[in-house]
Structure 1
Amino acid sequence: MQKFKYLTLCLMIFLALGARAQNATFNELVWQDEFEGEGAPNPAWWSYDLGTGDGGWGNRELQSYTNQLANVRQSGGKLVIEAIKQNGNWTSGRIKTQGKFKFTYGRVEWKAKLAPGVGTWPALWMLGEAVTTKGWPACGEIDVMEYIDRLPGKIQAALHTPSSFGNTQNIGSTQIPDPTTAFHIYAAEWSPTEIKFFVDNTLYYTYAPAVRDARTWPFTEDQFLIMNIAVGGNMGSEPSLETNGQKNGVDPNLSSTRMEVEYVRVYQTFKELTLTGPTLVKPSAQNVTFKASQLANATYTWTLPDGATILSGQGTAEVTVNWGRKSGTVQVQMQHNGQTYTKSIEVKTKMIPTGSSFLIEGFSPVPATQLKSSGGTFELSQAIDALRINYNITTPNNLPAVVYELESPLDMTDFPVLAASIKTLNKSKTVSLRIDLLDATGKVTGGNQVFTLSPLIDDGDYYTYHFNYASAFGTGSGQVDPASISKIRLLVNYGLFGSPGQDSLWVDSFSVLPTMPATPNRASHAVATTTASGITVTWQDNAANEQNFKVFKSAKSNGEYLEIGSVAANTRTFTDPSGTRESFYKIQAANAAGAASFSNIATVAGVISGLPHDEVLARQVRLFPNPAKTRFFLSHPIGLKISAIRLFSLNGQEVQLPTFSLQSRESTVEVNLTSQLPDGLYLCQIQTEKALLYKRLLIQK
């Protein structure tokens, strides 16, 4: 007796498993719409069929399909399709995923409550994506659920193929008691050999032709989903209510009817674990979603970078995350049927610029792994706090270039101006430079508006070039996305106007700004000569918006420069009657917005910049932390005597520092910053007994 009970129990379990066996093959949820939210259906997935079609969509139907919320809408977590009669005319809704979602083979299921009313015809069905190329019925049609309320409780499935000339000959039906008052699950499972139809997981019809060819089995290609309510027509019309030979047999007391759909889901056979989600996020982004392959009875474990937290979904196939400020790896581990699967994606955090100037890269140290060169022979190295590029170009048409890949993509939407601080001596007289930006998809700025560094300033000091890329950005196909700038390309001696040659240049920094600077460009190519009146200094004017030029003088090339005079705008010469061959001069353009950085040094005796001693010493002096908040430390060799530390903004304005003591026997100096100091990039001037050094300091609170 006990053995009999045991066998009976096993048989019951077997039958229970067998009743749901149709779900085992198609076990991965690949697409779904749960109809959350209010208003129109999700336009990323659904579009509308509109109007009456040809002769009522070929079925002599009465309704006109619209995209109005009265006929099609999401409400209360359900999709509502409603047919409405006004002034004797019927409107309704018909939506489809054509061109937005399609699939071949799998299980599709709708949970729906059907529309009541004699003369109405709600349907949940699929049509071949090839309908636009092969036509109907060659594209194939799978009617998962059709219902006509003049035959209460009868649920019908049908196939339309060329073998039946499109007529409804391959058909199956079942009876349920309450299709218009209760929700039921209507499903079809489509495999390469058969299509099965279910109501509430009960199989009631299978289409499996003995011969599968283009006539009987046009079901080898993608199908898309359709939902609608038709009114009247060849199938929906009640013959006893028809008039004048029309298919208009509809209950005359019926003025509206609705079908409600709780969800539609598509399952396919699991093959490998997939993971989807954004690969680029903003710092501290909220409600970021990551999705893995969704399988029943699977467990999921998620791992996120430091600073990111899971708001919901841990242990499931979908998590909602509040992101941190760091880039990193998102990983999911899925366990299913004793197997463990792992998938990960790299997610980068965007740089979101702030302040009046935002430093992208200061090349201290040079980020060697982020630099690539092509089209010529390039030697990339560290030169104090800059990137030094030695090159030999033989074929300019190869577009020789150095490409810097940003550590994290940059959002330049509100900061479209790129500032590049570059110097060259242009000894070969062949240097020509251009800067392009590339977004995360590889699209590159160009066209009529390009950042050509012209006129090229080759006086041996750093010159900051500016270019506004706003007109080079866009949102259309093929346009550069300003929200995901990932690379900066520096073309060297390039293209038709490039010349073969070898030379050197230095890149000090790349920054972005919200607008072009109002201060003037710096004067360049300052030269000092002896004249009868004293020492005459001349220079080149690189701006149209200066109001005057200030002239500064020092007894040492690396000493303190004091203003000795000024001249009007567009003037390019100044004579110092007390000057000598040992005097050193700098020029500074200025206007109401502020002053430019200093020009190169001019002296009759000549100046050799970048002395080896200074380069070695500069490498031994370090600022930390950098970026700094309210203070920073200066580390230097023991015994080095520092006589002064000064801080300047990039436009040459000195920032007052609190007093501090300098101990020559110690190797570290602490410098406190004023709380009013705005975030941005500054130059720290360090004066020693024999040198005047400059280090960049980024202040970021």
Structure 2
Amino acid sequence: MQKVKYLAFMCLSLLVSFGTLAQNGKFNELVWSDEFNGNGAIDPQWWGFDLGTGDNGWGNRELQTYTNQQANVRQSNGNLIIEALKQNGSWTSARVKTQGKFNFTYGRVEFRAKLAPGVGTWPALWMLGESITTKGWPACGEVDVMEYIDRLPGKVQAALHTPSSYGNTQNVGSTQVPDATTAFHVYAAEWTDKDIKFYVDNTLYYTYAPAVRDARTWPFTEDQFLIMNIAVGGNMGSEPTLETNGQKNGVDPSLTNTRMEVDYVRVYQQFQDLKLTGPTLVKPLAQNLTFKASRLANATYTWTLPAGATVVDGHNSPEVIINWGSNSGQVKVEMQHNGQTYSKTMEVKTKAVPSGSSYLIEGFSPFPADRLTPTGGTFDMSQAQDALRIKYNITAPANLPNIVYTLENPLDMTEYPVLAAAVKTLNRSKTVALRLDLLDAAGNLTGGNQVFTLSPLIDDGEFYTYYFDFKEAFGTGAGKVDPASINKIRILINYGLFGKPGQDSLWLDHLSVLKAIPATPNRASHAAASMAASGVKIDWQDRSGNEEGFKVFRSSQFKGTYVEIAALPANAITFTDVAGTRESFYKVQSYNAAGVSDYSNSATVAGVLSAAQEEWLERQFLVYPNPAQQKFTVSYPAQYKVKSLRLFSTTGQEVPLLVSFQKVAKNTAEVQPAVALAEGLYFCHIQTEDALLVKRIFLQRLP
């Protein structure tokens, strides 16, 4: 039995053969095949079934019932087996087809088969027009590449059915194949825009070429699909001498089963351009990936792969098996054929596969400007304190204003369906409305009833982490979002019915995925402090619902160390600190058995800088020169009061300083370490009345 095998050879001049090619030399590219390698059910990607008895025995008074059971149709030892079986006086068989899965116009089709024996049986290898569902039969055209009836031993025929010739077949040719039921032969048809020629083992025995080609004589201008089957009895298969009661049931009474074996089915067409197919999205270190180029006889192939990928089978052939590495890159094939060189390249992305309890998609440091695409509004995007800051101006919410973030590598969310987004805003305009959608590599978009709306919006000026489980929004059918290939996140801002014209700012700190929504409680929000008769009263909003209690923390500085001062029961939303002062800072934390939440926003009677104010303040305080030689200057606006200047090493050790303040149009402070310091990075802490600023400075050795 002949099989196409693509083995690894190291010689670059290897000539690749694909078995016997067409008599018509222009059909030199193998565009589709099924070699039936494997065991069990046939490939559903390519094959479907006709089932049941059809209309009056499939229109031919046939006896069999077609099934999709493996007793009637299966792969076994590299062959397709179609078997007709008689049980309890009734026949079952199979009819397989590529309708809606594979079809073609013009080319050469080959079936290598050993036919089914038995008087009264009727095996066939044929094609039918895809337009049968719209035009009907015979207007769709039918090409019978091979028909065999064992009551006429050794006679193989080809036939065509058209509006001008159907029923009692007129366009027919035949030849003798004495061992058709005991040996494999190649049954082929070559179809051009002028004629259809029929072959057995490359011997031409019939040509259909009508003098006038119109819709009646030549309905062969559109796609045809492939069919293989064994019929039993019927108008053509039945042996008249064995018929009873006027039925077409003339079948050898001793026959209980018969089978047709098909080694392969192949379709060739004229080579036009080098094609390259294979996966465009792979897992890191994926094994046994298949890449295929156009298959031409007497051609040589050279493959080029990205670093880390290796060919494990098929060197210099049109089909290679590759073990991938960790990096994205290009797969390139170069083909030499008849003195011509052809090449084709495809980009292959290595997907990100999460691990651990959570996986960071994007932290916005460095700033991914080239992967952020805005539309539908005016957006000013920048990096602010290792977050994405978005200033927007929306005039037409109905245009669905959004920013699409393209992941650096497509993400496999199959086991990590929960998306987490840390967002902050003050929502001063009361127009902030946010939603996050996922897009897969095919462009399919999450939506419907499963929508990640950031609601209720927490607008207390500190980051709040929102979670959404997309598991119910994923799927594998047509139009469904594939969780294994998520490559974009759409951030809708002030959109649709939920939006209204306005302008505001928001910050996005990170995007992550998790296996499940955390069991720890959400943080409290909108913490506020006010003076009370007996101290400082702290109020907050409960955003959890699954907390077991709250903890209250106090600090003397906004960015200082917060110390727990109270533990409160669940659903408490206020506490009075009798030891508190106007300058005290407070944060609240909720907790349960699973753990503690993030801190709430900071609260103080004196007021806390907003993120935007703090960012602006950072820009007003300058440290220079940087790098400096053991001495540097801090410059800041005259209206600000600096309460202290401190310097720390990267290990947290404080350095004694000599500081000299000068008050001019812009205040300055000359800072010099009291002792010579080792060269390296240091942190200068600048404490103002309402903020702690941290500046990095690199100190060099004195020359």
Query: Shorter chain as normaliser: what TM range?
Result: 0.7 to 0.9
Alignment of 1:91-130 (within 5 A): 91-130=92-131
Identity of aligned residues (%): 70
Residue 611 (structure 1) shift: 5.1
Tell me the residue number matched to 1:550.
551
Aligned counterparts of 2:22 and 2:69: Cα–Cα separation in 1: 41
Deviation string 1:103-135 (CA, Å, 9 cap, x unpaired) is 111100011111222332221111222222222
Q: How has the CA–CA distance of structure 1 residues 595 and 694 changed in structure 2, closer, same or farther, with 3 Å as cutoff? A: farther
Aligned to 1:45: 46
Q: Which residue number in structure 1 is paired with residue 36 of structure 2? A: 35
Distance 1:664 1:546, change over 3 A: farther
Alignment partner, residue 678 of structure 2? 665
For each residue in 1:254-287, what CA deviation from the matched residue of structure 2 results, as whole angstroms up to 9, or x when unmatched? 3322211100101111111112222222222222
Q: Which amino acid aligns with 2:194?
A: T
Aligned residue type for 2:250: G
**2:132 — aligned with what?**
131
Q: Deviations over 1:175-215 (max 9, x none)?
A: 23321211111100000000111111111111111111112
Counterparts of 1:85-234 in structure 2, within 5 Å, are: 85-234=86-235
- Cα pair 1:119 1:149 within 8 Å, conserved: yes
Write the letter of the residue equivalent to 2:571: N
In 1, are the aligned partners of 2:351 and 2:409 still within 8 Å (CA)? yes
Q: What secondary structure is seen at the aligned counterpart in 1 of 2:497?
A: coil
> Superposition pairs for residues 279-294 of structure 1, below 5 Å?
279-294=280-295
State the shift of 1:151 in Å. Answer: 2.5
* 1:518-572 deviation digits (Å, cap 9, x = unpaired): 1111122222222221222222222112222212222222222222222222222
Q: What one-letter code is carried by the residue in structure 1 that aligns with 2:342?
A: Y
- CA apart distance, 1:589: 1.5
SS in 1 for 2:235: helix
Q: Equivalences for 1:8-19 in 2 at 5 Å? A: none
The answer (yes or no) to whether the contact 1:120–1:232 under 8 Å persists in 2 is: yes
2:649 maps to what in 1? 641
Q: Which amino acid aligns with 1:185?
A: V
Question: 1:438 — aligned with what?
Answer: 439
Partners of 2:107 and 2:617 lie apart in 1 by 74
Give the deviation of 1:692 after TM superposition: 6.8
User: What is the CA distance between 1:368 and its match in structure 2?
Assistant: 0.6
**C-alpha RMSD of the superposition:** 2.7
Equivalent runs, 1:54-73 vs 2, <5 Å: 54-73=55-74
Q: CA deviation at 1:21?
A: 6.5
Tell me whether 1:488 sits opposite 2:489 in the alignment.
yes
Moved more, 96-105 or 568-577: 568-577
Equivalent runs, 1:306-321 vs 2, <5 Å: 306-321=307-322
Aligned equivalents of 1:552, 1:21: Cα separation in 2: 84
Local SS of the residue matching 2:490: strand
Residues 208-229 of structure 1: per-residue CA shift (max 9 Å, x gap): 1111111211111111111122
CA distance in 2, matches of 1:420, 1:331: 38
Shift of 1:613: 6.6
Amino acid in structure 1 at the alignment position of 2:243 = E
> Which whole-Å CA distance do the structure 2 matches of 1:424 and 1:523 have between them?
15
Judged with a 3 Å threshold, the aligned counterparts in structure 2 of structure 1 residues 597 and 666 are, in CA distance, closer, same or farther, namely farther
Pick closer, same or farther for the CA change 1:617–1:79 going to 2, 3 Å: farther
Q: For residues 336-370 of structure 1, what are the alpha-carbon distances to aligned partners after superposition, in whole Å with 9 as ceiling and x for unaligned?
A: 11122222222222222222221110000110111
Q: Secondary structure at the residue paired with 2:472?
A: helix
Cα displacement (A) at 1:688: 5.0
Q: What secondary structure is seen at the aligned counterpart in 2 of 1:124?
A: strand
- Per the alignment, in what secondary structure is the counterpart of residue 498 of structure 2? coil
Taking the aligned partners of 1:168 and 1:213, their CA distance within structure 2 comes to 19
Spell out, residue by residue over 1:52-86, the C-alpha distance to the aligned partner (whole angstroms, 9 max, x if none).
33333233333332222222221111111222233
Which residue in the other structure is 1:235 paired with?
A: 236
Alpha-carbon spacing, 1:394–1:581, altered in 2? closer, same or farther (3 Å): same
Please state how far the C-alpha of 1:473 moved relative to its aligned partner.
2.7
Which whole-Å CA distance do the structure 1 matches of 2:220 and 2:101 have between them?
19
CA apart distance, 1:689: 7.1
1:394/1:34 CA distance change after superposition, 3 Å: same
After superposition, the Cα gap between the structure-2 partners of 1:155 and 1:518, relative to the gap in structure 1 and judged at 3 Å, is same
Distance, in Å, in 2 between the alignment partners of 1:618 and 1:512 is 38
Give 5+ residue unaligned stretches, structure 1. Answer: 1-18, 622-638, 646-662, 670-685, 696-701
The equivalent residue for 2:527 is: 526
CA distance in 2 between counterparts of 1:235 and 1:69 reads 26
Contact 2:111 2:188 in 1 (8 A): yes
One-letter amino acid of the structure 2 residue matched with residue 667 of structure 1: G
The aligned counterpart of 1:398 is 399
Against the structure 1 CA distance between its residues 543 and 220, is the aligned structure 2 distance closer, same or farther, given a 3 Å change threshold?
Answer: same
Task: Indicate whether 1:592 and 2:593 are aligned.
Answer: yes
Relative to 1, partners in 2 of residues 1:617 and 1:53: Cα closer, same or farther, differing over 3 Å?
Answer: farther
Please name the residue that 1:266 is paired with. Answer: 267
Aligned residue-pair number: 628
Change (3 A) 1:687 1:455: farther
CA distance in 2, matches of 1:288, 1:492: 41
CA shift for structure 1 position 458: 2.1
Scaled by the length of structure 1, the TM-score of the pair is 0.84
**TM-score normalised to the size of structure 2?**
0.84
